[in-house]
Amino acid sequence: MNQVKFPKPQTNFFDTLKNKVEDYFVRNNIKKKTGNQKLYTKTYVFFGSLILFYMLIMFLSAHPILILFLFALEGLALAGIGFNIMHDAAHGSYSSKPWVNNMMAHSLDMIGGSTFYWKTKHNIIHHTFTNIGGVDDDIEIPFMRTTEQQERKWYHRFQHIYSLLLYCFQYLFWVFYADFKKYFTGKINGISAPKMKTGDHFIFWIAKVLSIFVLFVLPIMILGWKVGLMGIAVLFLVTGVSISMVFQMAHLVEERDFPVPEAGTSKMEDEWAIHQVKTTANFATRNKFLTWVLGGLNFQVEHHLFPRISHIHYPALNKIVKETCTEFKLPYGEFNTFRGAMLSHLRLLRSLGRA
């Protein structure tokens, strides 16, 4: 596919929205659009929880059922670090200081991923070419048909049933396969990735070896093969499902667009900001607990429009974005509950699998 291009703004939607958002920060005397003490407190909580659960798993002499439960809690802590800390930091919205963002973004390397490839895969490709089949790597899921342009296989008829099982393996797939594929091919879904410098190669390999050893190998050595492998399986299941469901429900749901570039020119119909509104959905935005745990990823519309603003500000910006979308007659997508978004995701998979 040729380089996908967005047309120049045909409306003043985004300029109007940016002015309203800027006015909000000025009126409320909020000098920094990045994180504040609320975010830093969450950092202590999630890192502290990860360390606590890990140490209990390694040194607590307890019944295997309790150990497996601790592995599940560790999986939630890993996902929480990704949602709340790494995600903001990788977008440069964790702190106003670049070196702090860079340091906290590498929390992804600490838990088995690769910050280097994440920034290209997610920040650049996904946030630019959202829901465009063949380009947006976030919606390219093995053994699943997520857009009408993808070839339909016989087994896709059951994808709404086996999707949750696949999501259980998402974290395992990410840590042990996807990053290495990007590293050795130099491509992300067919798009050339930036070339690594010597330091990037060093961080990639050292982080992979250390994180895999500490998180997965050492527990098996300490607990034994039976309990250790069962625990690691629970860890992968909980982390994989948590990560997958949150990101899929933001885009792979009904009534969101999966636009196709114009044949021959690869031009998109809508300008970038309107494209983001049409391809993204919120869920459970009134649920304060979910908002806290998910790092504001249930406010995906606001995040896609303002990725450099920390998620702690999204609940306040939600009303502004909604009103502006109504003003410009744009289809703002939002599900009232987590369950509603999940069911919509499964219905979409069923529809695509049977089409």
Mean pLDDT of 30-34: 94
Cα–Cα distance list, 45 to 78, 229, 293, 334 (Å): 12, 27, 11, 29
Structure confidence at residue 1 (pLDDT): 47
The pLDDT tens digits of the residues spanning 292-302 come to 999 999 999 99
The pLDDT tens digits of the residues spanning 44-94 come to 999 999 999 999 999 998 999 999 999 999 999 999 999 999 999 999 999
Q: Lowest mean pLDDT: which of 2-16, 279-293, 337-351?
A: 2-16
Residues 318, 327: contact at Cβ < 8 Å?
no
Structure confidence at residue 264 (pLDDT): 79
Mean pLDDT of 238-266: 91
How many Å separate Cα 46 from the centre of its chain?
A: 17
Mean pLDDT of 195-200: 95
Instruction: Give residue 265's pLDDT band: very low, low, confident or very high (50, 70, 90).
Output: confident
User: What are 39's two structure tokens?
Assistant: 């975010």
Read off the pTM: 0.92
The yes-or-no verdict on residue 2 having pLDDT over 80 is no
The yes-or-no verdict on residue 198 having pLDDT over 70 is yes
